[in-house]
Structure 1
Amino acid sequence: MKEAQEEATEVDGSAKIQNGGRGSSGVVQYKWWIKIALFTVCVLSGQSVATMLGRLYFNKGGNSKWMATLVQTVGFPLMFPLILMYLPSKTPSKQQQITKEPSWITLLMLYTFLGAFLAADCMLYTYGLNFLPVSTYSLICASQLAFNALFSYFLNGQKFTPFIANSLVLLSFSSTLLVFQGDSEQTAKISRTKYIVGFVCTVAASAGYGLMLSTTQLAFKKILKSQSYKVVFDMIVYQNLIASVAIVVGLFSSGEWKDIKGEMEGYESGKVSYIMNLVWTAVSWQIFSIGCVGLIFEVSSLFSNVISTLGIPIVPVLAVVFFHEKMNGVKVIAMLLAIWGFASYIYQHYLDDVKEKAEARIANRQVDLTEIRI
């Protein structure tokens, strides 16, 4: 019994999505898909809004990279009500009794590592968003799926198939293609050197994010070993808390905190707009975090990244509408390659689902034949 329950806690996320949440009843399946849908909405809406607000911050006169980085993590107190909702009962369940909780030292090391990693990754994303047009930035971020798949192969036992390999190649080409676009778009605002720096920082941030997602999935499976949503919210809060502390230290060490007041007063849209931009950026990133970590918990890190990649067409379209950025031929081709890569990955999941259903039917027939013979 113990071995069976331990195996249940280590079910691979890809198997969960292939099963479509099919469990012992239709109600379980229905509730599972609702949770996946809600997490997906959180990822897509939070990511799109936060990215647009981040670009708006720089467009309207914001200059502090540390402040732009801080708002990506400092909204973690929004998770406190959710943690209270999922407080464990005083009487531990059978699963809690069987599963040994990790020591506080282990948890401290885990959250410190992830928090410090998150702070560094957010700073890289900030440099990318500051130096690149937001449409170019979002398309380069699609490469995080390729990096995540690579790290998942080594850390999470993710299997490669021709369609997944095709997906990774297309996403890589999609990002690389943007290096070779003409200078006409960015020369009016930024130098070619800053463009290259922004590109390198965004690619590095995407690689770091892919590694962090795979590490988070591995932590859920090997260290936390829990089926509680409280664990998900704890992961968000402590990881963001440590990241925020590290970023605040950087903010004061760099001396940028002295310029915040002047930056606020010189903001084109006024002080209120400046504050509201930072507040809603922080809220949006926390909504994204809830959806992202929730999908890792329910399915896998790679699936979470795929959903994030699904938002590729959203930000460039919004950038054209609100920031009047140009969608040149290179960007259009890069977007089509990214969408094609995403479709290849989803099609592989479809094939896996069809194969699983066929194997289940064969197994049921064999059981029926055995019963008839008996």
Structure 2
Amino acid sequence: MGEAQEVQLRIMDQEAKDQTNLPQYTSITDQCSPAPQTRNYRRWIRMSIYTVFLLAGQSAATLLGRLYFVKGGNSKWMATLVQLAGFPVLIPFYLISTTSKPSTNDSQIKSPSVTTLALIYVSIGLLVAAGCYLYTIGLQYLPVSTYTLICASQLAFNSVFSFFLNAQKFTPFIINSLVLLTISSILLVFNNESSDGTSGVSKAKYAIGFTCTVAAAAGFGLVLPLTQFCFNKVIRRQTFKAVLDMIIYQQIVATSVIVVGLFASGDWKGLTREMDGYKMGKVSYVMNLVGTAISWQVCTIGCVGLIFDVSSLFSNAIGVLGLPIVPVLAVFVFNDKMGGVKAISMVLAIWGFISYAYHHYLDDRNCKDEKRNADEVSKAPMLES
């Protein structure tokens, strides 16, 4: 949803689905393995570990981010930096991807110029940096449960921008998802938690947080369709290495922008004072920031692992599964109120995500059916001869 690392991994999510010309290595290895049951057993263990990493990392990072502000943290730049600075965790995956041989089709495609690639990485990296900063403002002023539900509107923006940039068709399932997610966010506008004294912020700050979170959702909703557009029209390589190039270089740009903002704004001067005044102590202050960064990277490893070991669709589905976790945990950790309006909003958001995921399930199944039919047609002449 609003998480920077997770949004970046949606790029792999979308691009991996387009690789229908590649064989499904898992089924091939399972058939050729002398001990398929053992391989399946190990694969299920890995899947379970990656799933826990994704859900735990996503939930912990969001809660720790809110805890930073609740206990006395004030630097929006620092809170944004910890979302991005852990991108080196992807370097091992990058090294693995460089050892794999490119396909014949990819090796024949002319690579774009360095200037063109740099322009793409910088442009999208700036969008990511701006989106992360806006999300941080939302997390500072909104209850975690409300913040998480508003982040769900990113999916609606994603579909709209995909319609214009990548000619995505609006199927009944996508339209249903858009309507539900829109209603879910609109309901939160009428939520009265900003005026009941429990949120600790004024109506004005609640409005600022709400607006910034929606703006960030729109920005990140543009990132994935724009990235897909660049892959289809400019890069034209559907390889895992190309996707990791996009993610890592974007993260470098975004991190650099936030570091510049941290020093240019003068926030860095108050970090020592902020640490001294942190309600839970200096050690807890440092552990909060480190824990937030690590949690995002744990989530990243889980996402990448599921895409590697299962499929992009499954990784997306697990991310959807985590939607209600943070609002429920926020009720116990921060005493967030789960009133009727917010509960209805959460149900509508989950329903919208399920509708969207089901659309991609059908799309993925149709792609596999088309590939299987094409393989059968190509093998038919060989059998006749």
What band does the TM-score fall into relative to the shorter chain? 0.7 to 0.9
Match of 1:216 in 2: 227
The aligned residue for residue 268 of structure 2 is 257
Normalized against structure 2, the TM-score is what?
Answer: 0.79
Instruction: Look up the equivalent residue of 2:265 and give its one-letter code.
Output: S
Closer, same or farther: CA 273–348 of 1 in aligned 2, 3 Å: same
Q: Does 1:111 align with 2:121?
A: yes
**Which residue does the alignment assign to 1:204?**
215
> Unpaired segments of 5 or more residues in structure 1?
1-10
Does the CA-based 8 Å contact 1:183-1:192 persist in structure 2?
Answer: no
Alignment correspondent of 1:174: 184
SS at match of 1:239: helix
The whole-number CA distance in structure 2 between the counterparts of 1:78 and 1:268 is 31
CA contact (8 A) 1:232 1:294 kept: no
Q: Quote the residue 1:75 is aligned against.
A: 86
Q: Is the 8 A contact 1:72 1:281 kept in 2?
A: yes
Alignment partners' CA distance in 2, 1:137 and 1:80:
31
Q: Cα RMSD (Å) of the superposition?
A: 4.0
The answer to whether the 8 A contact 1:148-1:213 is kept is yes
Distance 1:88 1:96, change over 3 A: farther
Number of residue pairs the alignment of both structures matches? 360
| Residue matched to 2:167 | 157
Query: What corresponds to 1:60 in structure 2?
Result: 71
Given the superposition, is the C-alpha separation of residues 369 and 265 from structure 1 closer, same or farther in structure 2, using an over 3 Å criterion?
A: closer
* Aligned mates of 2:115, 2:373 — CA distance in 1: 48
* Alignment equivalent of 1:240, drawn from 248, 251, 270: 251
Letter in 2 for 1:276: M
Q: Secondary structure at the match of 1:86?
A: helix
1:174–1:370 CA distance, 2 compared to 1 (3 A) = same
Judged with a 3 Å threshold, the aligned counterparts in structure 2 of structure 1 residues 315 and 337 are, in CA distance, closer, same or farther, namely same
Residue correspondence of structure 1 range 99-138 to structure 2 within 5 A: 99-138=109-148
Which position in structure 2 is the counterpart of 1:8? none
Q: 1:361 to 1:14 in 2, by over 3 A?
A: closer
Match of 2:5 in 1: none
* Cα pair distance change 1:41/1:99, threshold 3 Å: farther
Could you tell me whether the CA contact under 8 Å between 1:68 and 1:126 is conserved in 2?
yes
Percent of aligned pairs sharing the same letter = 56
> How far apart are 1:46 and its partner, in Å?
3.0
User: Is 2:287 the counterpart of 1:285?
Assistant: no
User: What is the TM-score when the length of structure 1 is the normalising length?
Assistant: 0.81
- 1:31-75 per-position Cα deviation (integer Å, ceiling 9, x unaligned): 9x9899887665543322211110011111111011001111111
- Partners of 2:360 and 2:213 lie apart in 1 by 28
Q: CA deviation at 1:299?
A: 7.3
Matching of residues 1-374 of structure 1 within 5 Å = 25-27=27-29, 43-88=54-99, 94-183=104-193, 187-188=197-198, 189-289=200-300, 308-352=319-363
Deviating more after overlay: 43-52 vs 310-319 = 43-52
Aligned counterparts of 2:272 and 2:381: Cα–Cα separation in 1? 78
Query: CA contact under 8 A between 1:64 and 1:256: conserved in structure 2?
Result: yes
In structure 2, stretches of 5+ residues that fail to align are 1-13, 32-38
